[in-house]
Structure 1
């Protein structure tokens, strides 16, 4: 078993419950950790034998582009696609952070962290 981590993916998106959040948008940070068998790819040196992090980043960008009220919804969509579209992924954890959220205080970010495992 091995781990691939994508850290500090910075995106601009339009999520939130307030109307201005979906019109103006804001900055987000996404972190992703996936686990899978990387033994074959470590020997073959072939992209088709591993979990392609270009694919992972594309899924994150595509799902972040779909406006949602809740970060939980976005995180669940990201996890669902990664697990369903890449059979080598056995477990995935995603953190979606809204930077400088409009919550009436000096808060750097709010983060939703969710994990999904492949059902056997």
Structure 2
């Protein structure tokens, strides 16, 4: 078993419950960690034998472009797509962070994390 991780994917998106959040948008950081068998790829040195992180990045960018009220919903959509399109992935952990959230306080970021196994 092994892991493939993408850290601090930057995206500008329009998520939130408040009208100004969806109208103006804000900056987000997304982290993805997937668990899969990397044994074959470690021997073959072939992209076809591993999980292509370019594909994961594409999924993240596409799902972040669809407005949602809740970060939980965005994270779940990302995981659902990973499981749908990358059959060798057994577990996925996705964190979505809103930078400088509008919560009347000095908060650097708010993060939601989902950690799911295939067929959860």
- Runs of 4+ with >4 A deviation: none
Equivalent residue of 1:4, what SS? strand
TM-score with structure 1 length normalisation? 0.98
* 2:65 corresponds to: 65
Post-superposition CA distance 1:60-119 (Å, at most 9, x none): 000000000000000000000101111110000000000000000000000000011113
Equivalent residue of 1:92, what SS? strand
* 2:85 corresponds to: 85
Count of residues in Structure 1 that have an aligned counterpart in Structure 2:
120
Post-superposition CA distance 1:4-57 (Å, at most 9, x none): 110011110000001111110000000010000000011111111100000000
* 2:118 corresponds to: 118
d(CA) in 2 for partners of 1:3, 1:31: 13
* 1:24 corresponds to: 24
d(CA) in 1 for partners of 2:68, 2:15: 5
Which structure 2 segments of 5+ residues have no match? none
Give the CA RMSD over aligned residues: 1.0
TM-score with structure 2 length normalisation? 0.98
d(CA) in 2 for partners of 1:40, 1:13: 37
d(CA) in 2 for partners of 1:115, 1:34: 9
